[in-house]
Structure 1
Amino acid sequence: MPPVSVEAWAKVNLYLHVTGKRPDGYHLLDSLVVFAGIGDTLRVEAADDLSLSVDGPTAALLDGMGGNIVLDAAQALARAAQIPALARIHLTKRLPVAAGIGGGSADAAATLLALSRLWGVTLPPAQLHALALALGADVPVCLRRRPTRMGGIGDTLAEVPPLPAAWLVLVNPRIGLSTPAVFKARQGCFSAPQPLESSPADAEQLAAMLAHRGNDLTDAAISLVPDIAEVLQMLQTTPECLLARMSGSGATCFGLFAGQAQADAAAAAIAAVHGQWWCKSAPLLSAS
């Protein structure tokens, strides 16, 4: 079997409402998740043991973070398929970590997809979904790799109306942020679910629809990492930015743009002022 490569696209929450809290402490969410055409790359090939190597511009950020979700995913899939976990895995890391764009979750999902092909494994969808959820709340949606409404604790996934072509500028101040810490810092009431019920005609209409929704974790994240407010302000004042918002539990924020030229110009302008920030432009992916 030749090597298999899968892209682990950045996950972006166009809106994120916290709708409740379960007795076990897990929060319930309503979110429109999309994927940007930038991410990590996962490559697997046959081997006599299980190993992981990592390179890439943000690889050093994984140092000292303990166990790796990529290896966890490989071992979980092997157990489920009742086969030995034998593969040489290589991760090229480009996304920042603990950044609100699902880097680790996307890597885990890409691992499941790549190794399923390498090993010839086809798990029933419900079993694969449960396996992914056990790895992390965002892993199931990252397996879908297309615009999705995410509910519950990440376990309830549904189709959304078709989305128009658009571009995103992703900006992170290179400060990691713990998801549990953000939820702990969150205050205020819960929000009602607000799923998109119709398909926006273009990026401008998508921005108008999203303007009536928000990210309920923004204030909590800013209380922990004040730089997020500066990132949002920078995006909001960039010419032709249709909407600026934080993704997930931060600290990455995104700007929504109608086209590539506008997004590329915005990313260049922000990088010129804040060269220390992680700043990338990428298309909004409408399908896998």
Structure 2
Amino acid sequence: MLAAATPPVVVEAPAKINLYLHVVGRRADGYHLLDSLAVFAGIGDTIEAAPAEALTLSIDGPFARELGNEEDNLVLRAAHALAAASGRPAAARIRLTKRLPVASGIGGGSADAAATLHALARLWRLDFEPAALAAIGLALGADVPVCVYGRSAFFAGIGEVVTPAPTLPPAWLVLVNPGIALPTPRVFKARSGGFSGPGRFEAGPADAAELADVLKLRGNDLTEAAVHLAPVIGTVLAELETLPGALLTRMSGSGATCFALFAEQAAAETAAENLRTRQPGWWVAAAPLLANAPPTG
């Protein structure tokens, strides 16, 4: 019999932003080796898990229609993977509130998978350390481990090597997606050229302006390929460049979401509102940069 009084476990899945992303090599099996600084923004999806006799998934939210609840959904895959690792049945009623665009380069699916691992580990009362959850998550996607740790971090390899980043200053982001999904494998396949060196830094920038200066010495090695596949990304970046107060503009991950970095909340929110007026068909959001965003319930 189910413990009907057991409350659901709620875990936030914040958007993951790549402040820089370098492709530093390629393995013999074809997987690219990366070096990136991933941070989290104060906007995202939500996972709610409750006791049940079987595993079910319901999806609501602004981008619910973009997803199905088929077995290949990352949330369901995460649930099955954790159940297999713990030797217990995959039984829970999971609800995903989808606020982030799908296949958009801000880790929505990966963040959802990581939040699912955390939620079910608590619901099922499993004694799994974050490193163990990250190892399970790596089989689901390269971005899942850094999302499991849920704090600003450098990641290397294919995503399995996660190192805490230095303390980052308060800052705001304006996130923009032009309404297209851009699958990561297509972008990597379209990429050409050589490899970059690592871009890690040790000292934490004093403020948002200094953070922008540090990041300007780095880049996103997938931008050219993404713009080739989806030229509207170039339009988004050009629009972001015009926003008053923008300290840095860049594409996140493999696209198509791009961001502008701001020092102040008011400037970011004003810029976002102005951009929504000019481009009503785009998804635009202003959100704080979360220097440390552990899962919450």
Give the alignment's TM-score, normalised by structure 1: 0.98
Instruction: Quote the residue 1:118 is aligned against.
Output: 123
* 8 Å contact kept, 1:267–1:279: yes
Give 1:285 deviation, angstroms. 0.4
Stretches of structure 1 that go unaligned for 5 or more consecutive residues are: none
* 8 Å contact kept, 1:32–1:150: yes
In 2, Cα distance between the equivalents of 1:184 and 1:65? 26
RMSD: 1.2
1:227 aligned onto 2:224? no
* 8 Å contact kept, 1:170–1:281: yes
Instruction: Quote the residue 1:165 is aligned against.
Output: 170
**Helix, strand or coil for the counterpart of 1:135?**
coil
Instruction: Quote the residue 2:268 is aligned against.
Output: 263
Instruction: Quote the residue 1:32 is aligned against.
Output: 37
* 8 Å contact kept, 1:98–1:177: yes
1:100 aligned onto 2:105? yes
Instruction: Quote the residue 1:87 is aligned against.
Output: 92
Aligned pair partner of 2:251 in 246, 249, 260: 246
Count of equivalent residues:
288
**Structure 2 matches for 1:133-144, cutoff 5 A?**
133-144=138-149
**Helix, strand or coil for the counterpart of 1:112?**
helix
Stretches of structure 2 that go unaligned for 5 or more consecutive residues are: 1-5
Aligned pair partner of 1:281 in 255, 272, 286: 286
* Letter aligned with residue 164 of structure 2: E
Q: Deviations over 1:39-60 (max 9, x none)?
A: 0010010011110000100111
Aligned pair partner of 1:177 in 173, 182, 192: 182
Change (3 A) 1:98 1:201: same
* Letter aligned with residue 281 of structure 1: A
**Helix, strand or coil for the counterpart of 1:223?**
helix
* Letter aligned with residue 19 of structure 1: V
Give 1:268 deviation, angstroms. 0.4
* Letter aligned with residue 203 of structure 1: A
Give 1:122 deviation, angstroms. 1.5
* Letter aligned with residue 272 of structure 2: A
Q: Deviations over 1:9-66 (max 9, x none)?
A: 0000000000000000000000000000100010010011110000100111114987
Q: Deviations over 1:186-228 (max 9, x none)?
A: 1111000010221100000000000000000000000000000
Change (3 A) 1:227 1:78: same
* 8 Å contact kept, 2:251–2:257: yes
Change (3 A) 1:87 1:66: closer
**Structure 2 matches for 1:49-64, cutoff 5 A?**
49-63=54-68
Could you tell which deviates more after superposition, 128-137 or 250-259?
128-137
In 1, Cα distance between the equivalents of 2:258 and 2:70? 23
1:155 aligned onto 2:160? yes
In 2, Cα distance between the equivalents of 1:214 and 1:17? 7
Q: Deviations over 1:108-134 (max 9, x none)?
A: 000000011111011255432221101
Report the identity percentage.
60
Give 1:159 deviation, angstroms. 1.4
* Letter aligned with residue 141 of structure 2: G
* Letter aligned with residue 188 of structure 2: F
* Letter aligned with residue 132 of structure 1: G
Aligned pair partner of 2:19 in 14, 25, 45: 14
Give the alignment's TM-score, normalised by structure 2: 0.95
* Letter aligned with residue 192 of structure 1: G
In 2, Cα distance between the equivalents of 1:44 and 1:65? 17
